A = this chain, B = another copy of it.
């Protein structure tokens, strides 16, 4: 067989002894496999040994993507949309097999045209376009500032933010802190599969997001598939949610809490926990974050030098994912206790969050935990490590007084602690 490097990006028909495939050749990293992007959006690998013929097809007439704008109904309530990137705001480019960002309003609305039967889209703003793993504190501030402006406009009843999935829960958490005392719903949503694919989750997620944005829940919440079915979404509190699966559409799970609500395609909302209500106040975003904070994971046999490293780098805060009820090694050559004491003594704020993710830390069970507690470590009970990281960065940016930061770390500001945590809140 010929080298297909030169054919990448071309439309081909591949014949094997048993089947025929049509699609776009894309780069394969296995020399024994030819990789084809099918029109369904899925990639398929075909063993070279089984290929009888590869036929390059005529270049398809470039089908330009021209979504039709439905004329919005009159008298509908207004929603503003912010686009930050991610799969929900992109579609396949069939010429290259790659992914293309959607930037025009009509393209965004075309992801879920039904949204125009629910609300009037007052504006679509794109503060930046970023793969979510590249998001930074600067972008978080920019986003929060834009939220503030849009939330304080009378014409908007709520706000929807389109965002990549990978770090969506970090963004949901930091917005929860930056936009305290909310007046209207701030809804973050996503897609795990782009709109070109039959199994895309964009349509349901965006439809339910519109219902959530018009609801009376004035919280930062993440809206997405509750199950693998296309029938309803969860509304999840921004500080108590985590991406738990690399590819499932119902990847976002509530951790140590119940969903705020389930939201159905037809607009029915069932509520499961208390929430902050919509109000007439103005929102004031707190655009602060101290980057000298890190999140690290304790594991057995690990060196405590990592703590000294951050201390010497001038870090002001550290969140450590501790095992079980809040353990790191405190005995023997691999003990972390001494390095933690040095860090606390130097003025660093050292916090523990649960590596288990589910359940709560409790420093009062074992004597080893009391040693850590006595050394000044803050035990963040049932707070997620990711939420703890953004909260600590936020508070260190906001407060000069370290004792005040410690006090606020342990205080429930925006639902990051669940005071009514029950055993049932596990693997929902």
Contact = CB atoms under 8 A, between A and B. Distances in A.
A228 interface: yes
A358 B245 contact: yes
Interface stretch (A128-136, A203-211, A230-238): A128-136
A292 B128 CA distance: 40
A355 B253 CA distance: 14
B29 A243 contact: no
A408 interface: no
A309 interface: yes
A303 interface: yes
B358 A246 contact: yes
Given A291-B301, A301-B291, A373-B29, A133 B329 contact: yes
Interface string A286-327: 000101001111111111011001000100000001011101
Given A246-B325, A301-B393, A305-B313, A364 B43 contact: yes
A334 interface: yes
A327 B133 contact: yes
B247 A359 contact: yes
What's the number of copies of this chain in the assembled complex? 2
A166 B324 contact: yes
B370 A27 contact: yes
Interface string A133-144: 111110010000
A205 to B, nearest CB: 16
B98 A367 contact: yes
A144 to B, nearest CB: 14
Given A301-B137, A309-B306, A427-B427, A246 B389 contact: no
Contacts of A305: 313
A333 interface: yes
Interface string A341-367: 000000000000011111111111011
Contact of A131 (B368, B389, B423): B368
A245 B426 contact: yes
A150 B246 CA distance: 41
Among A29, A99, A247, A428, residue most surrounded by chain B Cβ atoms (within 10 Å): A247
Interface string A375-390: 0000000000010010
Contact of A135 (B137, B166, B247, B300): B300
A190 to B, nearest CB: 11
A331 interface: yes
A334 to B, nearest CB: 5
A246 B134 contact: no
A291 B251 CA distance: 34
B27 A427 contact: no
A302 to B, nearest CB: 6
Contacts of A29: 363-364, 370, 373
A418 interface: no
A29 to B, nearest CB: 7
A359 B312 CA distance: 37
B299 A389 contact: yes
Given A166-B327, A167-B323, A366 B131 contact: yes
Nearest to A43: B364
Contacts of A373: 29
Contacts of A289: 301
A417 interface: no
Interface string A239-259: 000011111100101000000
11 contacts: A133-B298, A133-B329, A133-B330, A134-B300, A135-B301, A166-B324, A244-B427, A246-B354, A247-B359, A248-B426, A291-B301
Given A133-B300, A248-B423, A291-B303, 11 more contacts: A130-B331, A134-B330, A134-B331, A136-B332, A136-B334, A171-B300, A244-B357, A244-B426, A295-B302, A427-B427, A427-B428
